Amino acid sequence: MTMNRRMLVLGAMGAALAACGRPQPTRFKRYDGPKVTRVQVFKARRKLQIFSANVMLKEYDMELGFAPTGHKAVEGDGRTPEGAYRIDRRNPNSSFHLSIGISYPNANDIARAAAMGQRPGGDIFIHGTPARQMGKSDWTYGCIAVTNDEMEDIYAMVPDGTPIYIYP
C-alpha cells in the first residue's frame, strides 16, 4: 500500500470512529404524554399553563412585553395580546432558541388598529430567552418568554392548532 493510500484509509477510519461517538444533545425533545388541548396565560400572575382536558400538565413562570398591561392594540406598543387565539406555526431557527407562533392578529384586532389608523403588529410568539435577558422582567415586544429549557418542553408538547387563551 502506498503512503498516500494508507493515509486516506486511516483518515476514513478516523472519521468513521468519530461519527460513532457520544450523541450530541438536541433541543428537540420528544413528548409522549397526554394530548395537550389548551394553553392558558395569566398576564398579571406571569403564569403559562398547559392542559390536557381539565388536567394541568405544566405551569411555567414567564415574561411579557415591555408594557404588559392591557390588550395589544398597535404595532410597537409592547403589549401582549389578550383573548382567544391558536398556536399556528413554529420556528426551530428562532433568534430566541425555539418559538411557537400565536395567531394574533385576528379580524377584531385588525379592525381595532385600523380604526386608530395604525397597524396591529404581528409575529407574537412563545419563545425562549437569550442569556442577556435572563432574569429581566417584561422585556419582549409583546411575546411570551420562558427559559430555553422550558421552551424545549413547550415546543415538544404543544401542537399547531392548540387553542391559547391569554387573560389579563
- From CA 43, how far away is CA 66, in angstroms rounded? 12
In three-state secondary structure terms, 69 is: coil
In three-state secondary structure terms, 149 is: helix
How many CA atoms lie within 13 Å of 151's alpha carbon, on the beta-carbon side?
Answer: 28
Under a CB-based contact definition with an 8 Å cutoff, are residues 138 and 64 in contact? yes
Our answer to whether residue 71 is catalytic in this structure is no
Q: Which three cell numbers stand for residue 117?
A: 389608523
Long-range contacts of 131-138 (CB under 8 A, 24+ apart): 133/63, 136/63, 137/63, 138/63, 138/64, 138/65, 138/66, 138/67, 138/68
Q: Which three cell numbers stand for residue 52?
A: 390536557
Under a CB-based contact definition with an 8 Å cutoff, are residues 136 and 129 in contact? no
Catalytic one of 20, 71, 97, 127: 127
Which residues form the catalytic set? 127, 143
